[in-house]
Amino acid sequence: MSTGAGIYVDHTGPLTWRQRAWAAVLDAAPAALCHESALPDAAGRIIHIAVDSDRKVTPRPDVRVHRRPRLMDDVAWHVRPPRVRIHDTVLDLADGARTEMDAVAVLTDAVGARITTAAHLLDVLAQRRRMHRRRLLVGVLHDIAQGTSSVLEHRYLVEVERAHGLPTPIRQAPTQVGRTGFRDLDYPDFGVVVELDGWRFHDDAAARDRDLQRDFDAAVDADRTTFRLGLGQATVRACATARQIGRALAERGWTGEVHPCPRCRGRR
Comparing 15-19, 69-73, 80-84, 217-221, which segment has the lowest mean pLDDT?
Answer: 217-221
Q: Is the pLDDT of residue 268 over 60?
A: no
- Taking only the tens place, the pLDDT of each residue in 186-200 is 999 999 999 998 644
Q: Is the pLDDT of residue 210 over 90?
A: no
Banded model confidence at residue 6, pLDDT cuts 50, 70, 90: low
C-alpha 4: how far from chain center: 36
What percentage of residues in the chain have a pLDDT greater than 90? 65
Same domain, 103 and 73: no
Helix axes 118-126, 134-145, angle to 10 degrees: 150
The CA distances from residue 152 to 115, 181, 199, 235, in Å, are 20, 18, 10, 9
The CA distances from residue 77 to 72, 80, 128, in Å, are 8, 8, 21
Helix axes 134-145, 100-112, angle to 10 degrees: 30
Q: Is the peptide bond before 169 cis (omega within 30 degrees of 0)?
A: no
In whole numbers, what is the pLDDT of the chain averaged over residues? 89
Q: Is the pLDDT of residue 247 over 60?
A: yes
Residue that finishes a domain, picked among 84, 109, 137: 84
Q: What is the DSSP string of 202-232?
A: S-SHHHHHHHHHHHHHHHHHS--EEEEE-HH
Q: Which residues form the domain of 53?
A: 2-84
Whether the Cβ atoms of residue 127 and residue 151 lie closer than 8 Å to each other: no
Query: What's the pLDDT at 204?
Result: 62
Banded model confidence at residue 180, pLDDT cuts 50, 70, 90: confident
105-111 mean pLDDT? 92
Query: What's the pLDDT at 126?
Result: 96
Same domain, 165 and 257: yes
| Among 66, 77, 62, 8, CA closest to 34 | 66
Q: Is the pLDDT of residue 201 over 50?
A: no
Residue that finishes a domain, picked among 123, 145, 167: 145
Banded model confidence at residue 203, pLDDT cuts 50, 70, 90: low
Of 35-39, 98-102, 146-150, 229-233, give the range with the top mean pLDDT.
35-39
Same domain, 113 and 51: no
Query: What's the pLDDT at 112?
Result: 87
Helix axes 100-112, 118-126, angle to 10 degrees: 130
Same domain, 131 and 156: no
Same domain, 156 and 260: yes
Same domain, 14 and 109: no
Angle at 46 between CA 44 and CA 50, to 5 degrees: 120
Banded model confidence at residue 230, pLDDT cuts 50, 70, 90: confident
Q: How many domains does the structure of the chain reveal?
A: 3
Radius of gyration of the chain (CA): 23
- Taking only the tens place, the pLDDT of each residue in 130-139 is 999 999 999 9
Comparing 30-44, 91-105, 218-232, which segment has the lowest mean pLDDT?
Answer: 218-232
Same domain, 65 and 157: no
Comparing 1-5, 59-63, 73-77, 102-106, which segment has the lowest mean pLDDT?
Answer: 1-5
Query: What's the pLDDT at 1?
Result: 38
Same domain, 185 and 78: no
Catalogue the long-range contacts made by 51-58 (C-beta closer than 8 Å, 24 or more residues apart): 55/28, 57/28, 57/31, 58/27, 58/28
Query: What's the pLDDT at 202?
Result: 46
Same domain, 157 and 220: yes
